């Protein structure tokens, strides 16, 4: 299902009604008074956006009297801890940051609360919140569960979280090097393919940096190319078809990226991929918009002021990544109302600007379009266009995805990258395993 | 006065009970888990009885056997290298040499570092673009290597990290054992005309064979359980070339959310480790002589 269709079918669903259903009263009452002195415990990852959040958090306590404790963990360990906490009768967490892939599982296991009742609670909801100002594809991707395919907007979809650290993909390139060598950034994958060896040859550094480590990282890199080329993991009936012509073409493209990129891509995690670009070892970067806050930070970047951005190149379609982080309230939270107040405050217009200003990523249309913000981040002009091309079906957000992602595709893509198998053989080899996982999950009969 | 037969039970009983509970409870829980399909975050009451399904699936899964082979290779190379290096270092540093206390302290430092930090440190050292290793080989005009990007070099990388961290353990065990060797025996050997090699390999090392066996056993068990360093360094890749069994179990449990399957593979790992431990103890069982006396 393509994005345009999804947006149309989303009309009249939970999300459509939420904007209209917000309370009209409550301006003057102090919604925080009742919760003053309570402590909201928050599970957050070690992540640049949440590092930025920590800078604005003291202001919340100053304004409201509600204290906040954060439990900061490496992203990879956060889910285990959250599952253990949320499975207890009374958990330690009041507000949890989650990766978009986990939303279906958390809802299926009845671990997180619906957000709509909070938004409709006049005692809690801020009438100036302006829900519709949140970037709609971010909300749909991060927050909705129960719609078509279980994770898309449409009939049956309900809101379980709000975007906070959501992202899409964008192409960043070294303007100085491109100007020096008379190069143009690619607008299509055909141009992209031709450009990679040329950039490598002319600049002497890696053409495009990329993730490549076995598991989630290399699959992420492959999906970045697979979707614009018109491919996918499953057909409409959940039958895997990632080994078709498009899947192989996307994997061949990733191999080309690895061959013309900085040395060591098959071992690169997200950190190495970003560092390569920021330290001037690669001429291009095609990945998360998280890079915005880091490019001009002299503590981590040698390329400040030398980077420009263009849209994620088009294959047969435009299809940029949908992903990133959101915030949800656990079912067993001790202070759910205070947690909602914090969630609402963090995602409010003022605080969205505040966190963006100190290096976080924006979640609101008003932030991306704000004059001061655009002066600080001129790339928001491109981001506004890129958001239009977010593919909400960029990857299947089903409970089985982690296993498919890491233990099946994550091995196949990695084996193709190192040359152990050809892309066709590597992908063919994983069809039985993925089919078995989907049968076990009840998606396929047999 | 003869000690009543029940007295040793009174003294040893509480410790035996605590040990039995501490060791047996997790083991029995893992066994029980192997018979159920249960996912973290759901109540145990929702766990589904699947009988031997998880065990059969584990034994039929080629990834499990590939992982077992990788583990055996990893354990063999690491443990042999660590034993040889650790014993050699202990023999070299056992004498009274000025400043030796400082060296000994330096040698055991890697063992004290948290495995996560070890993994991160080696990840930076092996980094293809900014790592120290590539900087060094580039000094000699060689092309940089993507250490963690190729199967063979990634496997060498995890072995180097393990040897670096755990050779000090062998060293510290051996230096303690060598310090307790009766100097009169060595003196007698020298009087009888034994040279350094003969005194070392025919007298000294046989006298500490029990400690060598216990050290070998402990390293063997640890080599099968290592997780964090490989998790950080390679996450089992490229492909699944460095996916040792403990990492495979971790992924099955926490990525695939198949705790029953992970428990079944853990039982397989337990059988392998127990068999190897039995074999190692047959080489030299320190408790055997005590039992006889």
| pLDDT digit string, tens, across residues A340-399 | 999 999 999 999 999 999 999 999 999 999 999 999 999 999 999 999 999 999 999 998
Least reliable range by pLDDT among A149-153, B191-195, B242-246: B191-195
pLDDT tens per residue across span A32-80: 999 999 999 999 999 999 999 999 999 999 999 999 999 999 888 899 8
Residue A336 has pLDDT above 60, yes or no: yes
Q: Do the bridges between strand A67-73 and strand A39-45 make them parallel or antiparallel, or are there none, so unpaired? A: parallel
Q: Which helix (H) or strand (E) holds A417?
A: helix A410-418
Q: Chain B contacts of A436, Cβ < 8 Å? A: none
Note whether A402 contacts B257, CB cutoff 8 Å: yes
**What is the distance between the terminal CA atoms of chain A, rounded to a whole angstrom?**
26
pLDDT at residue A69 in the model:
98
Q: Give the torsion through C-alpha atoms of B211, B214, B215, B220, to 10 deg.
A: 160
Give bridge partners of residue A173 from the DSSP assignment.
Answer: A284, A308
Q: Does domain A3-167+323-387 have CATH number 3.40.50.10860?
A: no
* CA–CA distance, B113 with B110 (Å, rounded to integer): 5
Residue A428 has pLDDT above 80, yes or no: yes
Contact predicate B219/B82, CB 8 Å: yes
Length of chain B: 293
φ, ψ of residue A168 in degrees (nearest 5): -135, 180
pLDDT at residue A117 in the model:
97
Note whether B129 contacts A105, CB cutoff 8 Å: no
What the block records as the tokens of B182 is 């009766």
Per-residue confidence at A224, pLDDT binned at 50, 70, 90?
very high
pLDDT at residue B279 in the model:
83
Report the residue of chain A nearest B235, measured CA to CA. Answer: A214
What the block records as the tokens of B152 is 């063979």
Per-residue confidence at B290, pLDDT binned at 50, 70, 90?
low
Residue A30 has pLDDT above 90, yes or no: no
pLDDT at residue A436 in the model:
94
pLDDT at residue A5 in the model:
36
What the block records as the tokens of B41 is 């975050």
Residue range(s) occupied by CATH 3.40.190.10 in chain A: 3-167+323-387, 169-310
The total of other beta-carbon atoms located within 10 Å of residue B267's CB is 17
What the block records as the tokens of A111 is 């671990």
What the block records as the tokens of B224 is 């099968």
Note whether A215 contacts B235, CB cutoff 8 Å: yes
For a pLDDT cut of 90, what percent of chain A falls above it? Answer: 88
Residue B98 has pLDDT above 80, yes or no: no
What the block records as the tokens of A199 is 């950039």
Which of the pair, A133 or B110, is modelled with greater confidence?
A133
Fold of A169-310: D-Maltodextrin-Binding Protein; domain 2 (3.40.190)
Which alpha helices (H) appear in A209-244, and where do they start and end?
Answer: 216-226
What value does the mean pLDDT of chain B take?
Answer: 90
Q: Which of A109, A276, A415 sits opposite B239 (nearest CB)?
A: A415
Q: Chain A contacts of B127, Cβ < 8 Å? A: 264, 272
Contact predicate A67/A39, CB 8 Å: yes
Give bridge partners of residue A174 from the DSSP assignment.
Answer: A307
pLDDT at residue A29 in the model:
52
Helix, strand and coil in chain A, % to nearest 5? 50, 15, 35
Q: Does domain B53-119+156-285 have CATH number 1.10.3720.10?
A: yes
Per-residue confidence at A23, pLDDT binned at 50, 70, 90?
very low
- CA distances to A276, A364, B234 from A271, in Å: 9, 26, 13
What the block records as the tokens of B145 is 């290597």
Note whether B257 contacts A212, CB cutoff 8 Å: no
Per-residue confidence at A24, pLDDT binned at 50, 70, 90?
very low
Whether the upstream peptide bond of residue B80 has omega within 30° of 0, thus cis, is: no
Per-residue confidence at B248, pLDDT binned at 50, 70, 90?
very high
Note whether A411 contacts B127, CB cutoff 8 Å: no
Note whether A275 contacts B42, CB cutoff 8 Å: no
Q: Does B238 touch chain A (CB under 8 A)?
A: yes
Q: Which of A106, A264, A406 sits opposite B255 (nearest CB)?
A: A406
- B127, B235, B245: best to mutate for the A interface, most A CBs within 10 A: B235
For a pLDDT cut of 70, what percent of chain A falls above it? Answer: 93
For A248-316, the DSSP string reads HHHHHHHHHHHHHSSTTGGG--HHHHHHHHHTTSEEEEEEEGGGHHHHT-TTT-S-TT-EEEEPPPBSS
What the block records as the tokens of B74 is 């990893």
Which alpha helices (H) appear in A388-422, and where do they start and end?
Answer: 401-403, 410-418
Report the pLDDT averaged over residues A129-147. 97
- CA neighbor of A165 nearest in space, from A344, A65, A44, A63: A44
The total of other beta-carbon atoms located within 10 Å of residue B28's CB is 10
For B111-150, the DSSP string reads HHS-HHHHHHHHHHHT-TTT-HHHHHHHHTTPPP--GGGS
What value does the mean pLDDT of chain A take?
Answer: 92
- CA neighbor of A80 nearest in space, from A102, A100, A95: A102
Report the pLDDT averaged over residues A414-420. 95
Per-residue confidence at B72, pLDDT binned at 50, 70, 90?
very high
Q: Which of B41, B150, B236 sits opposite A83 (nearest CB)?
A: B41
Residue A15 has pLDDT above 80, yes or no: no
Contact predicate B140/B195, CB 8 Å: no
Residue A17 has pLDDT above 70, yes or no: no
Contact predicate A99/A394, CB 8 Å: no
Note whether A272 contacts B127, CB cutoff 8 Å: yes
pTM of the model: 0.88
* CA–CA distance, A129 with A349 (Å, rounded to integer): 7
Residue B287 has pLDDT above 90, yes or no: no
pLDDT at residue A234 in the model:
97
A156: left (phi over 0), alpha (psi -120 to 50) or beta: left
Contact predicate B239/A411, CB 8 Å: yes
Task: Give the list of residues 6+ apart from residue A418 with CB closer than 8 angstroms, or none.
Answer: A266, B149, B150, B151, B238, B239
Note whether B146 contacts A214, CB cutoff 8 Å: no
The position carrying tokens 């001429």 is A283
3-state secondary structure A67-115: EEEEEEECHHHHHHHHHHHHCCCCCCCCEEEEEHHHHHHHHHCCCECCC
Q: Which helix (H) or strand (E) holds A162?
A: strand A162-167
* CA–CA distance, A267 with A284 (Å, rounded to integer): 18
Contact residues, chain A to chain B, C-beta under 8 Å: 79-80, 83-84, 86-87, 105-106, 109, 111, 212-215, 217-218, 262-269, 272, 275-276, 279, 281, 399, 402-403, 406-407, 410-411, 414-415, 417-418, 420
pLDDT at residue A4 in the model:
37
Q: Which of B130, B145, B238 sits opposite A418 (nearest CB)?
A: B238
* CA–CA distance, A401 with A410 (Å, rounded to integer): 11
Residue B292 has pLDDT above 70, yes or no: no
Note whether A411 contacts B239, CB cutoff 8 Å: yes
pLDDT at residue A114 in the model:
98
Q: Specify burial of residue B17 (Cβ count, 10 A radius: 0-12, 13-18, 19+).
A: exposed
What the block records as the tokens of B92 is 């070299």
Q: Which of A213, A263, A281 sits opposite B235 (nearest CB)?
A: A213
pLDDT at residue A293 in the model:
84
Residue A3 has pLDDT above 80, yes or no: no
Residue A12 has pLDDT above 80, yes or no: no
Residue B285 has pLDDT above 80, yes or no: no
Q: Does B44 touch chain A (CB under 8 A)?
A: no
Per-residue confidence at A283, pLDDT binned at 50, 70, 90?
very high
Q: Which helix (H) or strand (E) holds A40?
A: strand A39-45
pLDDT at residue B158 in the model:
96
pLDDT tens per residue across span A106-117: 999 999 999 999
Note whether B128 contacts A263, CB cutoff 8 Å: yes
The total of other beta-carbon atoms located within 10 Å of residue B202's CB is 12
Per-residue confidence at A7, pLDDT binned at 50, 70, 90?
very low
Distance from CA of B242 to the nearest CA of A (A): 10
CB pairs under 8 A between A and B: 112
Distance from CA of B41 to the nearest CA of A (A): 5
Note whether B40 contacts A84, CB cutoff 8 Å: yes
pLDDT at residue A16 in the model:
53
Note whether B128 contacts A264, CB cutoff 8 Å: yes
ipTM, interface predicted TM-score of the complex: 0.84
């Amino acid at each position: 299902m393509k994005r345009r269709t999804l947006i149309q079918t989303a009309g009249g669903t939970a999300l459509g009604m939420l904007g209209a259903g917000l309370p009209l009263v409550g301006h003057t009452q102090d919604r925080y008074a009742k919760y003053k002195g309570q402590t909201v415990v928050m599970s957050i990852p070690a992540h640049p956006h949440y590092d930025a959040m920590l800078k604005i958090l003291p202001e919340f306590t100053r304004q409201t009297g509600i204290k906040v404790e954060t439990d900061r963990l490496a992203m990879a360990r956060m889910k285990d801890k959250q599952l253990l906490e949320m499975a207890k009768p009374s958990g330690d967490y009041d507000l949890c940051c989650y990766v978009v892939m986990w939303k279906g599982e958390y809802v299926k296991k009845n671990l997180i609360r619906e957000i709509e009742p909070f938004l409709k609670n006049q005692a809690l909801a801020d009438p100036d919140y302006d829900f519709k100002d949140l970037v709609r594809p971010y909300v749909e991707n991060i927050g909705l569960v129960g719609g078509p395919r279980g994770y898309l907007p449409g009939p049956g979809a309900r809101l379980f979280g709000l975007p906070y650290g959501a992202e899409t993909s964008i192409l960043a390139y070294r303007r100085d090097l491109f100007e020096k060598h008379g190069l143009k950034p690619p607008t299509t994958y055909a141009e992209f393919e031709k450009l990679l060896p040329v950039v490598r040859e002319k600049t002497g550094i890696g053409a495009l940096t990329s993730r490549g480590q076995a598991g989630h990282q290399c699959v992420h890199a492959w999906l970045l190319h697979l979707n614009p080329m018109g491919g996918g993991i499953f057909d409409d009936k959940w039958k895997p078809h990632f080994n078709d012509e498009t899947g192989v073409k996307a994997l061949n493209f990733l191999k080309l990226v690895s061959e013309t990129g900085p040395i060591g891509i098959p071992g690169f995690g997200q950190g190495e991929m970003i560092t390569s670009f920021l330290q001037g070892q690669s001429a291009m970067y095609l990945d998360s918009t998280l890079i915005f806050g880091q490019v001009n930070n002299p503590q981590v970047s040698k390329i400040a002021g030398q980077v420009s951005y263009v849209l994620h190149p088009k294959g047969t379609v435009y299809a940029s990544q949908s992903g990133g982080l959101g915030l949800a309230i656990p079912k067993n939270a001790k202070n759910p109302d205070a947690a909602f107040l914090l969630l609402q405050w963090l995602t409010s217009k003022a605080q969205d600007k505040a966190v963006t200003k100190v290096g976080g990523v924006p979640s609101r249309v008003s932030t991306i379009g704000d004059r001061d913000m655009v002066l600080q981040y001129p790339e928001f002009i491109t981001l506004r266009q890129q958001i239009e091309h977010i593919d909400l079906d960029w990857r299947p957000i089903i409970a089985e995805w982690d296993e498919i992602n890491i233990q099946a595709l994550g091995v196949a893509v990695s084996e193709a990258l190192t040359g152990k198998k050809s892309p066709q053989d590597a992908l063919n080899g994983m069809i039985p395993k993925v089919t078995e996982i989907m049968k076990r999950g009840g998606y396929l009969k047999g | 006065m003869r000690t009543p037969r029940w007295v040793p039970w009174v003294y040893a009983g509480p410790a035996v009970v605590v040990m039995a509970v501490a060791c047996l409870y997790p083991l029995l829980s893992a066994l029980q888990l192997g018979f159920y399909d249960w996912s973290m975050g759901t109540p145990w009451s929702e766990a589904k009885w699947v009988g031997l399904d998880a065990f059969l699936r584990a034994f039929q899964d080629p990834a499990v056997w590939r992982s077992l082979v990788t583990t055996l290779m990893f354990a063999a190379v690491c443990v042999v290298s660590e034993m040889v290096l650790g014993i050699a270092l202990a023999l070299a540093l056992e004498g009274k040499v000025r400043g030796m206390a400082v060296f000994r302290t330096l040698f055991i430092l890697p063992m004290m570092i948290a495995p996560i930090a070890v993994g991160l440190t080696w990840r930076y050292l092996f980094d293809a673009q900014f790592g120290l290793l590539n900087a060094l080989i580039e000094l000699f005009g060689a092309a940089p290597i993507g250490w963690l990007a190729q199967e063979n070099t990634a496997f060498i990388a995890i072995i180097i990290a393990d040897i670096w961290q755990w050779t000090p353990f062998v060293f510290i065990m051996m230096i303690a054992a060598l310090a307790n060797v009766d100097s009169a025996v060595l003196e007698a050997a020298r009087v009888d005309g034994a040279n350094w090699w003969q005194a070392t390999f025919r007298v000294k090392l046989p006298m500490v064979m029990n400690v060598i066996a216990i050290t070998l056993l402990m390293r063997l068990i640890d080599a099968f359980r290592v997780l964090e360093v490989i998790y950080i360094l390679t996450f089992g890749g490229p492909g699944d070339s460095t996916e040792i069994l403990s990492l495979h179990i971790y992924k099955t449990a926490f990525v695939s959310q198949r705790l029953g399957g992970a428990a079944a593979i853990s039982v397989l790992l337990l059988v392998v480790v127990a068999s190897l431990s039995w074999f190692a103890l047959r080489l030299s069982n320190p408790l055997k002589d005590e039992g006889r006396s």
